Each structure stands twice: as C-alpha cells, then as structure tokens.
Chains A and B, each alone.
Chain A
Amino acid sequence: MSSPGETTNQSSTVILAGEMTIHRVSELRQTLIAALETSRVLEVELSRVSELDTAGAQLLMFVRRTAERKAKQVRLLSPSQAVFEVWELLNLTRTLAPELRVGPVRGESTR
C-alpha cells in the first residue's frame, strides 16, 4: 500500500509498495498528485515496488511533468530491480531520475 510519510510545507515523502500497474494507476495518480499539491519537493520511494508496467511508467512521467509545470520537484528514489529494468528498457532512467547514481535496490523487490 502507499502511505504518505511525514509531510511538511517544504517536502514530503511517499513510499510506494506493491505493484504499480494498470490496475492501480488511477488510485496512485490521486495519491501522488495530492501529495504534490501540499509540498514543494515530493520524494517518491520506489524500493518496494514489485511490478511496473507501461501504464505505471507513464504515470511516473506524468507526475514528473506535472511537477515541472507547477515549478515543483519530484524525486524518484531507490527504484527496485523491477522498476529499474523497465526504466532501462524504455530508456527512461535519465529522464525520470537524473539524480540517480547507483543501480536498483536489490533484494527488496518483492513484498
């Protein structure tokens, strides 16, 4: 489940867990956009995402772009193996997580 973490005016963290697929994108969209409303910098923790499909990837692109339009920041942090694999295949790692230096978080991909 997704759970908004400690929220301040400045930055907040959302930890996403489980699958991030077509079945949940509507719900996730609301969570993420809502979290973006309340903070300048939104950090999304992805180490516990077990599955990502094209719809999920598209959602991440959408959130990032929305943030850009609103002059806010979204940081996608510690992608799990599953997430990273899709990013690499779609050549999105640089677009979505330019600050990402290390590879995927190993061993936490299933939950």
Chain B
Amino acid sequence: MNLDDAVRTFLHEARDLLENMEAALLACHESPPDEETVNGLFRAAHTIKGSAGLFCLDDIVTFTHAVEGVLDGVRSNKIDLDVGLVGLLLSCADHIRSQVDAVEAGSPPEGGALQETREHLIDELRKYCGPSSGPTLAPVGFFDDDPLPVVASPARSAAERDAWHISLRFGRDVFRHGKDPLSFLRHLRELGTITALETLPDAIPDEDRMDPQSCYLGFEVAFHGHVDKEALEHVFELPGDDCQLRILPPQSRVEDFVALIKQLPEEPLRLGEILARCGLVTSQEIEAALTAQRAGPTSGPPPRIGDILVEQGSIQPAAVEAALVKQQQVRTAKAQETRSVRVDADKLDELINLVGELITATAGTKMAARRTRMTELLDSATSLSNLVEAVRDSALQLRMVKIGSTFTRFQRLVHDVSRELGKDIRLMISGEDAELDKTVVERIGDPLTHLVRNAMDHGIEPREIRLARGKPERATVHLNAYHDSGSIVIEVSDDGGGLPRARIYEKAVERGLIEPGKELTDDELCRLIFEPGFSTASMVTNLSGRGVGMDVVKRNITALRGTVAIASTEEVGTTVTVRLPLTLAIINGFLVGVGEATFVVPMEAVEECVEFAPEPWQPYLDLRGQALPCIRLREIFAVRGQGSSRQSVVIVRVGTERVGLVVDGLLGEAQMVIKPLGKLFQHLRWISGSSILGTGEVALILDVPALIHRERSAATPEEARQYLERDCARTPRPALAE
C-alpha cells in the first residue's frame, strides 16, 4: 500500500460518508432527528476532517471543521436543526464533495469559485453558531476546540495521531501537598484538546495497604494543540517532584514509545495496550518490537529496536501508517455492516470476458468430444460445460448491484426540486433490494432523473388544486423496483393529476401525429408523449428548459434494450413502468439462419414473424395493407448461395419504426452471452456483437436500430407509398439496385 492508494481510499471513504450525511439530513425532513442521526452526522464530518488532515488537505479540514462546529452545537442541543440548517448542511455536503472531486482531479485546491462558495458557506454557518459559541469557528487552531472525547466515539480522527503523548506518574504525596492532578489536566485542556486519556489504576494496592490519601494513579494522555514542549512542561511544573513527567512530541516513532514503556513501572504489554488505546501507536507494533528485541541473539550486543523495526519494514512515515490503521478500522466496521468487498469494476469485466472465452472453448471441446464418440469423454465434456455455465452465471451475478443506492440518490433531487417548485413532495422508495447489472444501473440514472423530475414538475398539481380534489396536501412520488421474468421493472409513479388526455390529443393533431377525429385507446394516447418533439413543456406547465423530452428517455431506455410504458388516470396519478434486462452481458435472442450463417435478433425488437416473403424484386412487403420496408440479410451481408424457396420475414420494431428482415429460416429463441466485437471488426455496420452457439459456431448479433436507420435513409415514407400504389397496379419492376 502506498500513499496514492491511501488517498484513493480516503476519496472513497469521504464519498461514502458524504452519502451517509446526505441521507441522514434528508431523513431529518421525514421525522425530527434522533440522537443517533445527529451523532452520525457529526462523526461523518469529524472523520472526513481527520482523514483530510492526514493528507494535508487544509481546505477540506478548514471547511469540515466549520461544519463540525455547527453539528457539535446541534449535538449538544445548543443549535436547533431546522429546515434552513438542513438545507445549508446539504449545500455544505455538496461543497465538500466538490472539494473531494478537485482533489481527485488533482486540480489546485484553491479554485476561485470553490473558495468563494466556501467562504459564503462558512459565513452562513457562523450565523448559526451565534456569539455564544463564537470560538467554535475560530479561524485558527482548528483542533483546539474539539469537544472532549466521547468515550464511546468509534470514529477517532486520524489526525489525532498527530498529537503529543504525555505520560504522567504522580507521587504518593501529591494529594497531601494539596495538589489535585485533575486541575493540571483541566489546565492542559485549556491549551488544546485531550484527544485520548487513559487512567492507570494498576498501582493501587490491595485492600489493607491502600491509603486513600495517597495517590497511586498514572495517566497516559494524547494531546493536540499548538504548543511547544516547554509550555507542556510548564503545566506540570507545579506538582514538581510529585510528578514524573515524560513527553513525546507528535509523530514520534514506535521505538520512542518502546523506550517510554521501558521507563515506566507497569508491565510492558499492558502498557502497550494502553498506549494503543491513546491512538498514537498500535499494540501490534509495540508487541512486535518488544518480542523481536527479546528474541534477539543473546551473544553480542542486542540489536537496537530501531534496527529491528527498519529490517521488518514496520517503520513508515507516520501519515501512511495512520492511514493504514484507519483503513483497517473502517474495513472492520464495513465488514460487519455489509460484509462486502470493493472490487475494481475492470477486474470484474476481465473475469467475465475470460468466462466468455471459457464458454467458447468448452463449446469447442464438446464438439470435438462428440466427434470422437467416446462416451466417457462426452460425459465429462458435458459436465464441464454445465459447470462453466454455472461459473458464468455467478460471474454475472458479481456485477449485480442493488438498485437501492440509485434510488436513495433521488431523495436529494426530490428535496431540491420540490423546494424549487414550491410543492410539498415526498419520495417513497420500495424494492431497493432488487438487483441489476452495474452497467445498467449506471446508465439508468439519467432517464430516471428525468422521469422523477417530470412527475414532480408536470404530474403533481399545485397545492390548491390538490386540496380542491380532496388529496392530501403532501404529494408522493413513488419509486419501486421488482424482478419479473428475467428483467427488472422500475416504476415511477405519482399521485398527481395524470396525463391530460384532451390536451395530448389536441397537441397530437396539431403536430400532425394523428388524424383529427381518430379514435385512440388510452394506451395509444399515452404512447404519444414519447413521440419526438412532443414537448412536455407545452403540456401542463410553463416550466421548461429540461432540454430533453420523453422521447429521449425512451431512446435511452431502448438503447439498454429496455421498454417503457405509461399508465395514467386523470386526477389520480401516473405510473411510468420501465422494463430493463437484468444484464447487458446476456441477450435474449431470436436465431435466424441465412445460408450457412446464423444471426441473432434481439428478442425485444422482434414483433412478429411471417412465413411469406416478397418477390425478389420487391423492396416492400404488403403487410395487411401497410407498406413494410424489407431488408434481405443475404444481400447486405453478402451471404453466398441461393435463398431457400421458403423464406420468412422477421418484423422488427424500434419505437414506431418497423422493418422486415428477410431470412432463410427461423431457428428459435436462445439466451446467449454477448461478446463485443474485436477491434478489427468494430467498423462493421449493422452488427453489434457476436455470440457463440452451442455448436461452437459464431453468430452475429444484429444491430436493429442501425438497420432501421439504414432503411430510413434509403427511402422516405413518401417513396414507399408511391411504390406501393404502383405495386398495387401490378407494374412489374426490376429489382432495386443496391
């Protein structure tokens, strides 16, 4: 582990913490925050500050310190966590995130705009602090005013490692001389922060010999403050001979602690444990150092402890070491919470690629085995291929992530947009445990955002109308997810006004999408809003500027091989249902044969199959009176040989556009693993990938949208209509030249 890795872990961790913070803040809207929530907020800010300090990210430290100060006020009931403050803290979380992003991008920490925002936010925060807690936001000495360490606080800041270590052993008579160690500790606290303190009762004797007026105590103190050694010695000057004082400066090395242990009266291992509790050194380090020294060669001078540590490579720059400890703590905590491992997505992709190769190789083996006609070999090849398929399934499973985190992100959007629109809207989430492929999750964000915004913007009525309709004042947007026959269904529903049918109809007529007076089913009407250019802005409100319409949503979802449907009841609400494949790595394909070759048509695109083909010279098929453009796969892919006498047409559809694919044979449905095309073939049009059949042959997956696009650019609907008219007049025509 090097420093870069440590920084990366910090970035990861900081983002996680910010997400938690955001979730906690948004939860404050739902119910008044309990103690645990506030503590969680405080801890998150505190941990970010600590880790940032470790990497000398002073801007983040300054800012999170201010946030922490306010949160501390909230924690101690000095500041009320009202709606305004929640909003402000959300902005603060955003700002920290952009600071973290800046660190990742490696840009100079002092971007002008960033600094402006920061100062503005700090000013706002200061207002909440009020004059009484002024020092909380003192511009210097960021750690000076940290609250006393809460005993149970699990999040000990890594910056606390950067502290003085003070070891105190008081003389027996210190009480009798009228001095109280407590007063020295209180004095010390005025100079800075006691980040950790351990009281050592070990020297208290057994019952009879114990004199309650004698002092038997010792203290190990970790102290953070901008002081020098002299100032610290000064604090303990008063007890003088009644106190044995040992001070280790910040960033002391392990051997210094070991030396300290040797000077102190207590048992070394016990002391090591106590020092570890002060957080400046780990017990393993001390233990290892002590054991190594003890086990050293008996002849000759014993090796110096420092040498041993260097040999073992256990001495590292303090910062990196602190990072390691911190990570370990974080990891243990995480492991207990979720039992999950963070894996680089690229590694997963590589694994899945390899598994794909494995499947191909297995298919080949199986074919070879079949040729040998050796039963034994065939059996083992079959079980091998079963196993490989199981491996494939679980490898694909690895890429599955829960949709919950995507959903939770919308809490923030709903919070912000409802504020912006002046509507009272809450987001309900269910089915967050439904899993789907990581790549799908990543790409579903934008369309979902649009749908949720749409629901809030156009779906939910203004307050007065809601009240007039007898609906609760507070509107609800509901995100739901569930699995349904090999795909995941995501529903975005609202209890708003529903789609205004009359207006959609009007608009559609106006735009020439439908003939005036044509009867439309509800379904058809709803589908109209997915038409390009059917502006949402003109439908209900004047709020526009989205830049994308529902057609874009639809296109995005189609690109993920998904479908979108809408159901709406006027005055009751709207539900948009998005159906997506669980993974992009497997395709539900329809196999078609052309000559020797096999092609795969994505099942979602297939509308119907017709066992009838147009005459060779006809570029259009008369499908129940409608002109359907046809593509002969044999022609465009230059497959050799003559077409069979019984050709079929597979009608595929993307959006509203349809095209017929003329093929030799229909071979049926199959699930197959998509293999991306190699570099050499990437320029190929109309092919989106390949797959290996059970026979070991390669099948090409057709890129249906591209095929339809080809057809559209080849002929306009006007030409088609003219053609059909002529065709109906039975005028023989030569085959269309390519």
By a CB distance below 8 angstroms, the chain B residues around A95 are 199, 201
Residues of A within 8 A of B217 (CB): 54, 58
Counting chain A residues whose Cβ lies within 8 A of the other chain, the interface size class is 20 to 34
User: Do A91 and B151 touch (CB < 8 A)?
Assistant: yes
Q: Quick one: which of A22, A54, A55 has the most chain B CB within 10 A?
A: A54
Q: How far is the CA of A25 from the CA of B215 in the complex (A)?
A: 12
User: Helix, strand, loop or mixed for chain A's interface?
Assistant: helix
A34, CB-defined interface residue at 8 Å: no
Q: In the docked arrangement, what's the CA distance between A90 and B149, Å?
A: 10
A58 close to B151 (CB less than 8 A): no
Given the interface pairs A22-B175, A25-B213, the reply to whether A54 lies near B182 with Cβ below 8 Å is: yes
B195-218 vs A, CB cutoff 8 Å, 1 = contact: the mask equals 011110100101100101101110
Q: Say yes or no: A91 contacts B199, CB within 8 Å.
A: yes
The prevalent SS among residues of B at the interface is loop
What number of residue pairs across chains A and B have CB atoms under 8 A from each other?
Answer: 73
**Which of the residues B151, B180, B196 comes within 8 Å of A93, measured between beta carbons?**
B151
Kindly list chain A residues whose C-beta atoms are within 8 Å of the C-beta of B194.
89
A40 at the interface (CB under 8 A from B): no
Q: How far is the CB of A41 from chain B (nearest CB, A)?
A: 18
Report whether A58 and B206 are in contact in the complex, using a CB–CB cutoff of 8 Å. Answer: no
B215 touches A55 (CB 8 A): yes
Which residues of chain A from 82 to 96 have a CB within 8 Å of any chain B CB?
86, 88-95
A65 pairs with B204, CB closer than 8 A:
yes
Q: Which of B257-274 contact A (CB under 8 A)?
A: none
Residue of B nearest to A32 (CB): B212
A53 at the B interface (CB under 8 A): yes
> With A89-B148, A91-B149, A92-B199 given, is the CB distance from A62 to B180 under 8 Å?
no
Closest 3 CB pairs of A and B: A25-B212, A29-B212, A61-B201
Query: CB distance B198 to A86 under 8 Å?
Result: no
Residue B356 CB within 8 A of the other chain: no
List 7 contacting pairs A-B, 8 Å CB cutoff, sorted by A.
A53-B180, A54-B175, A55-B175, A55-B215, A62-B201, A62-B204, A90-B197
A26 contacts B by Cβ under 8 Å: yes
Contact A58 B201 (CB under 8 A): yes
**Alpha-carbon gap, A59 to B197, bound state (A):** 19
A55 in contact with B204 given A89-B185, A90-B199, A91-B149 (CB within 8 Å): no
Residues from chain A with a CB closer than 8 A to the CB of B181 are 54
Interface 1/0s, chain B 273-297, versus A by CB < 8 A? 0000000000000000000000000
Q: Which residues of B contact A33 (CB under 8 A)?
A: 207
Q: Check A62 against B212 for contact (C-beta < 8 Å).
A: yes
Distance in angstroms from B211 CB to nearest chain A CB is: 8
Q: A55-B180, A58-B217 are in contact. List 17 more A-B contacts (CB 8 A).
A: A22-B175, A22-B180, A26-B213, A53-B182, A54-B182, A55-B215, A58-B204, A59-B212, A61-B199, A62-B201, A65-B204, A88-B148, A89-B185, A89-B197, A90-B199, A90-B219, A95-B201
Q: Is B186 an interface residue (CB 8 A)?
A: yes
Selected contact of B212 from candidates A55, A69, A86, A88, CB within 8 Å: A55
- Nearest B residue (CB) for A22: B175
> Hey, which chain A residues are within 8 Å of B15, CB to CB?
none
> B189 within 8 Å of A by Cβ?
yes
Residue of B nearest to A90 (CB): B199
| Known contacts A22-B175, A33-B207, A93-B151: A58-B216 contact under CB 8 Å | yes
Q: Quick one: closest B residue to A55, CB to CB? A: B175
Q: Which of chain B's residues has its CB closest to A89's CB?
A: B185
CA A83 – CA B183 in complex, angstroms? 14
**Is A66 in contact with chain B by the CB < 8 A criterion?**
yes
Q: What residue in chain A is nearest B198 (Cβ atoms)?
A: A91
Q: Is the CB of A26 within 8 A of B206?
A: no
Chain A residues contacting B215 (CB-CB under 8 Å) are 54-55, 58
Min Cβ gap B208→A in Å is 10
Question: What 0/1 pattern do residues 54 to 73 of A give for CB contact below 8 A with B?
Answer: 11011101100110010000
Min CB gap A96→B, angstroms? 10
A33 to B212 alpha-carbon distance, docked (Å) = 12
Q: Once bound together, how far apart are the Cα atoms of A5 and B122, in whole Å?
A: 55
Residues of chain B within 8 A of A29, CB atoms compared: 210, 212
Contacts of A86 in B (CB 8 A): 182
Give CA–CA (A54, B207) in the complex, Å.
18
**Would you give the shortest CB distance from B185 to chain A, in whole angstroms?**
6
CA distance in complex: A53, B178 (Å): 11
Q: Given the complex, which residues of B lie within 8 Å of A65, measured CB to CB? A: 201, 204
Query: In the complex the two chains form, is A88's CB within 8 Å of B151's CB?
Result: yes
Complex Cα distance, B213 from A33, in Å, reads 15
Please measure, in the bound complex, the distance between the C-alpha atom of A54 and the C-alpha atom of B179, giving whole angstroms: 10
Closest CB in chain B relative to A62 CB, distance in Å: 5
CB distance from A6 to the nearest CB of B (A): 25
Which residues of A in the span 31-58 have a Cβ within 8 Å of any Cβ on B? 33, 53-55, 57-58
**Is the CB–CB distance between B196 and A89 below 8 Å?**
no
Q: Would you give the shortest CB distance from A67 to chain B, in whole angstroms?
A: 11
Q: Which residue of B lies closest to A25 (CB)?
A: B212
Residues of B within 8 A of A28 (CB): 212
Residues in B neighbouring A94, C-beta threshold 8 A: 151-152
Min CB gap A111→B, angstroms: 21
Q: Which residues of A contact B152 (CB under 8 A)?
A: 94
By a CB distance below 8 angstroms, the chain B residues around A26 are 212-213
User: What's the least CB distance linking B633 to chain A, in Å?
Assistant: 75
Q: Is A61 a contact partner of B186 (Cβ separation < 8 A)?
A: no
B196 adjacent to A91 (CB under 8 Å): yes
CA distance A57 to B198 in the complex (A): 13
Contacts of A88 in B (CB 8 A): 148, 151
Which residue on chain A has the smallest CB distance to residue B182?
A54
Q: Name the A residues within 8 Å of B186 (CB-CB).
A: 89
Identify the closest chain A residue to B210 (Cβ): A62
Query: A residues within 8 A CB of B201?
Result: 58, 61-62, 65, 95
Task: Give residues of chain B (212-230) contacting chain A, Cβ–Cβ below 8 Å.
Answer: 212-213, 215-217, 219
**B residues less than 8 Å from A53 (CB atoms):** 180, 182
Q: How far is the CA of A53 from the CA of B201 in the complex (A)?
A: 15
Complex Cα distance, B185 from A54, in Å, reads 11
Q: How far is the CA of A59 from the CA of B217 in the complex (A)?
A: 11
The smallest beta-carbon distance between B156 and chain A, in angstroms, is: 13
Q: Are B197 and A91 in contact (CB under 8 A)?
A: yes
Report B-chain residues with C-beta under 8 Å of the C-beta of A69.
206-207
